[in-house]
Amino acid sequence: MNSKVLYKLSYGLYVICSINGTQLNGQIANTVFQISSEPLTIAVSINKNNLTHEYIEKSGVFSVSVLPVTTPLDFIGQFGFKSGRDVDKFAGAAYRTGLTGVPILLENSIGYLEANVVQHLDVATHTLFIGEVVEAEVLGETEPMTYAYYQAVKRGLVPPAAPTYIKPQTMPTGAEGEKHKCTVCGYIYDSAQGDSASGQAAGTLFSALPEAWVCPVCGAGKEEFEALS
């Protein structure tokens, strides 16, 4: 079976938020889709081990923020590769409180939906939460980010807890450039491509990166990288 055919399916990229009392949390997700229009119903797939899953189960509410193509990788890393059990993901983030009490992101979002959970379906490692939308708003007209764009243009990674995660094969080094892998999130630094977001030109060797350079996805330091052979 060639599981790579799953890459042909179309997805978007979103931040799913929920609450537990006064506590807030959010995570990156790509499995969000509309179920019906009357009533307006959507579904999200969340890994059972995630803190967001726990919050949605307890509160019965969630919000979906639609990310645009301009969303920086460090923002995706904050919500996608860090745990709310270890960090406050909303520290420094612009948001407001929605009708149900869930946080509504006001940055790197071109629109949102807010929903009450009406059903849920156990799907092995994940739960499919089905929610009736109680509020929705367009916040911008920038093109929404697709999962294909995130991987091909942003060179983004897939967290192991994502429903679309497929264990990658080791990427060999070669004449095209040396490669180093972030052991925290899996980001590959390829010297042939450099890191334009931080001003590192194509051809910059990993050893030549400034000591203050960090992984553009999760913020890990150089010491968290390992050479690929």
**Helix, strand, coil % over all residues of the chain, rounded to 5:** 15, 40, 45
Fold of 11-152: Pnp Oxidase; Chain A (2.30.110)
pTM: 0.77
| Per-residue model confidence (pLDDT) at position 224 | 86
- Torsion angles phi and psi, residue 78, rounded to 5: -60, -45
Tell me the three state secondary structure of residue 204.
Answer: coil
CATH 2.20.28.10 residue spans of the chain: 179-227
Q: List pLDDT tens digits, range 2-55.
A: 777 776 778 899 999 999 999 999 999 999 999 999 999 999 999 999 999 999
Nearest-angstrom CA–CA distance, 32 and 78: 20
Q: What's the token pair of residue 187? A: 């980001």
162-173 pLDDT tens trace: 555 445 544 444
Mean per-residue pLDDT over the chain, rounded: 87
User: For the segment 79-106, what is each residue's pLDDT rounded down to a tens digit?
Assistant: 988 889 999 999 989 999 999 999 999 9
Helix (H, G, I), strand (E, B) or coil at 206: helix
Kindly list the strands in the beta sheet with 23-29, ordered across the sheet, starting from the edge strand earlier in the chain.
23-29, 14-20, 61-66, 111-123, 126-138, 40-47, 32-37
Q: What is the pLDDT of residue 106?
A: 96
- Residue extent(s) of CATH 2.30.110.10 domains in the chain: 11-152
pLDDT at 153: 67
One CATH from 2.20.28.10, 3.30.230.10, 3.20.19.10, 2.60.120.330 for 179-227: 2.20.28.10
CB 91 within 8 A of CB 24: no
Structure tokens at 133: 């939308």
User: Does residue 184 carry a pLDDT above 90?
Assistant: no
Q: What is the pLDDT of residues 189-209, one digit of tens each?
A: 999 989 887 889 999 999 999
Range list of β-strands (E), the chain? 14-20, 23-29, 32-37, 40-47, 61-66, 95-97, 103-105, 111-123, 126-138, 179-182, 188-190, 225-227
* Nearest CA-CA partner of 12 in 139, 145, 101: 145
For residue 109, give both structure tokens.
């979002």
